[in-house]
């Protein structure tokens, strides 16, 4: 039967259903889990709040300061396809550190990308920043050993720095706060480019950091390289953020006279922080508040903590723990493993949510949690929890994307997406359906921009060099 309170209320794909015979138990489970189902009223209210926060973020009126930075990236061009030359890029995020070489050859020849991955020891992610940037410079030095001919030439570098910044120019990014597992206080409120450039100069590397950007900016630019109608870049991985093409005339807070001839510029929304001021607390659950409180940075980037890859496994675990504690799962027996924060992963949630009738992945999780005996209903409950949490995440992202499509108001639009969460078997379909239902008939497509944050940085370096020669 169709439930008119929800979008696609007659579809179990979009509105998961739990089928167990014990009606009393079913009702109690619904009381706990269905807090994660967003009804039409909540969805519309979230959209309205996001619209208001976007206006605040772009406003020059400091009394209207909200939770969205809407940061000017100073990237005022997109790739034309004519770019040529060698450009280095560095992609520093929570789980990935990559050095890339982009060999761009114009329209008639396919670009080449050389990528090398490096580890960052946990101990240099906290404390003083010198060891981190020296390590990065050493890795770039190692990378150049594979292309020694480039040591003799000037190499522009685009630096993807996936942390909140206030940008003052395309090559000046002042760190606002660290997120994820980094905590290096001496970089706060300072230009991260200077720290990296100093480390490169100490190694006598002929590398010039010409641009600093967020991973979403890189993803949009990489998307635009293949799809000229790309106007939104989206990160859906360990964190969440979006970037879009904005008309320069709409940015009230951009007072720089130099932008008078600029038509468009990319805006980094930092929408992982949506709701940090409490404006969407009306949809948050007890588990949402607990996860934020126990995180490395409480009260910061609370929106992404509701569904991103770093946190979604723990959300599911906490729901399962609550159900078990109330005697609704595993006969009320709580194992030590179920109490561990990292005992359920994002990957497991995705696999279970794409489970067939054999419940192979669900049974694996049950075993991993230390349960030898369980009922078939326990498997159904776990699958239901994973499905509901996944749908909530896809819907939350879709609400924001639908608003942006309506706001940008283009005849056709491409949303370029990078990140492990987008690889979830159902996410693309869920997002496509929800965005279609929530936007005003806009034509759009979702495309994967794999490694967009890294390859996009090389393209931004090329754009920065082009902009520099125009001056």
pLDDT surpassing 90 at residue 107: no
Residue 255 scores a pLDDT above 80? no
Q: What is the pLDDT of residue 96?
A: 62
In terms of pLDDT, which residue wins out, 260 or 406?
A: 406
179 pLDDT more than 80: no
pLDDT at 1 over 60: no
Contacts by 150-153 with C-beta closer than 8 Å and gap 24+? 150/86, 150/101, 151/205, 151/206, 152/206, 153/86, 153/206
The per-residue pLDDT for 252 is 85
- State the pLDDT at residue 467: 87
> For residue 469, is pLDDT > 90?
no
pLDDT for residue 190: 97
For 346-357, the pLDDT digits (tens) are 999 999 998 878
Burial class of residue 363 in the structure, from the number of CB atoms within 10 Å of its CB (0-12 exposed, 13-18 middle, 19+ buried): middle
For residue range 301-346, what is the model confidence (pLDDT) as tens digits? 999 999 999 999 999 999 999 999 999 999 999 999 999 999 999 9
DSSP label at residue 107: T
- pLDDT tens string 69-78: 999 999 999 9
Over 90: is that where the pLDDT of 3 sits?
no
Q: State the pLDDT at residue 165.
A: 85
What average pLDDT does the segment 38-65 reach? Answer: 92
Percent of the chain with pLDDT over 90: 80
DSSP assignments along 23-86, one per residue: HHHHHHHHHHHGGG---HHHHHHHHHHHHHHHHHHH-S-GGG--S---EE--------S--EEE
CATH number of 77-226+450-470: 3.30.420.40
Q: How far is Cα 303 from Cα 456, in angstroms, rounded to an integer?
A: 25
pLDDT in tens, 118-149: 999 989 999 999 999 999 999 999 999 999 99
At 61, is the pLDDT very low, low, confident or very high (cuts 50, 70, 90)? confident
Rounded Cα distance between 466 and 211, Å, is 12
* pLDDT for residue 220: 97
The model's pLDDT over 383-440, given as tens digits with 9 standing for 90+, comes to: 999 999 999 999 999 999 999 999 999 999 999 999 989 988 899 999 999 999 999 8
What is the predicted pLDDT for the residue at 471?
A: 60
Kindly state the DSSP code that residue 210 receives in the 8-state scheme.
E
- pLDDT value of residue 73: 93
Residues 359-379: tens digit of each pLDDT: 999 999 999 999 999 999 999
Q: What is the band of 258 on the pLDDT scale with cuts at 50, 70, 90?
A: low
Task: Check residues 252 and 349 and name the one with the higher pLDDT.
Answer: 349
By CB neighbour count within 10 A (0-12 exposed, 13-18 middle, 19+ buried), where does 119 fall?
Answer: exposed
Confidence of residue 94 (pLDDT cuts 50, 70, 90): low
What are the E-state strand segments in 321-373? none
Report pTM.
Answer: 0.91
């Amino acid at each position: 039967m169709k439930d008119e309170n929800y979008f696609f209320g007659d579809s179990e794909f979009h509105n998961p259903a739990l089928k167990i015979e014990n009606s009393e138990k079913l009702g109690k489970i619904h009381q706990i889990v269905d807090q994660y189902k967003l009804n039409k009223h909540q969805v519309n209210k979230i959209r309205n709040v996001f619209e208001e926060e976007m206006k605040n973020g772009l406003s020059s009126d400091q009394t209207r300061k909200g939770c969205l930075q809407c940061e000017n990236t100073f990237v005022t061009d997109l790739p034309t396809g004519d770019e040529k030359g060698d450009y280095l890029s560095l992609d520093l995020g929570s789980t990935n550190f990559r050095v890339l070489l982009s060999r761009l050859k114009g329209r008639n020849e396919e670009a080449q990308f050389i990528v090398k991955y490096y580890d960052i020891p946990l101990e240099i992610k906290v404390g003083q920043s010198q060891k981190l940037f020296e390590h990065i410079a050493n890795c770039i030095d190692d990378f150049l050993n594979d292309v020694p001919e480039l040591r003799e030439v000037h190499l522009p570098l685009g630096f993807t720095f996936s942390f909140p910044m206030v940008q003052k120019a395309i090559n000046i990014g002042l760190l606002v706060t660290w997120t994820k597992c980094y905590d290096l206080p001496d970089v706060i409120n300072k230009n991260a480019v200077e720290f990296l450039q100093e480390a490169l100069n100490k190694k006598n590397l002929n590398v010039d950091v010409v641009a600093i950007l967020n991973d979403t900016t890189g993803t949009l630019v990489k998307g635009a390289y293949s799809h000229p109608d790309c106007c939104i870049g989206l990160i859906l991985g360990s964190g969440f953020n979006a970037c879009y093409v904005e008309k320069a005339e709409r940015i009230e807070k951009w007072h720089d006279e130099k932008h008078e001839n600029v038509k468009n510029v990319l805006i980094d929304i930092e929408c992982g922080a949506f709701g940090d001021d409490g404006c969407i607390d009306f949809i948050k659950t007890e588990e949402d508040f607990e996860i934020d409180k126990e995180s490395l940075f409480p009260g910061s980037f609370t929106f992404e903590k509701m569904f991103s890859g770093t946190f979604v496994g723990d959300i599911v675990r906490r729901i399962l723990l609550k159900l078990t504690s109330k005697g609704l799962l595993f006969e009320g027996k709580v194992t030590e493993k179920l109490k561990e924060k990292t005992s359920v992963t994002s990957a497991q949630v995705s696999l279970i949510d794409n489970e067939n009738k054999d419940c192979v992945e669900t049974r694996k999780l049950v075993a991993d949690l230390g349960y030898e005996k369980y009922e078939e209903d326990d498997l159904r409950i776990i699958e239901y929890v994973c499905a509901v949490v996944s749908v909530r995440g896809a819907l939350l992202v879709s609400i924001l994307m639908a608003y942006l499509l309506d706001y940008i108001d283009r005849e056709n639009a491409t949303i370029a997406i990078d990140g492990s969460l987008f690889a979830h078997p159902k996410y693309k379909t869920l997002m496509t359906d929800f965005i279609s239902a929530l936007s005003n008939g806009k034509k759009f497509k979702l495309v994967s921009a794999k490694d967009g944050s890294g390859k996009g940085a090389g393209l931004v370096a090329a754009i920065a060099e082009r902009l520099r020669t125009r001056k």
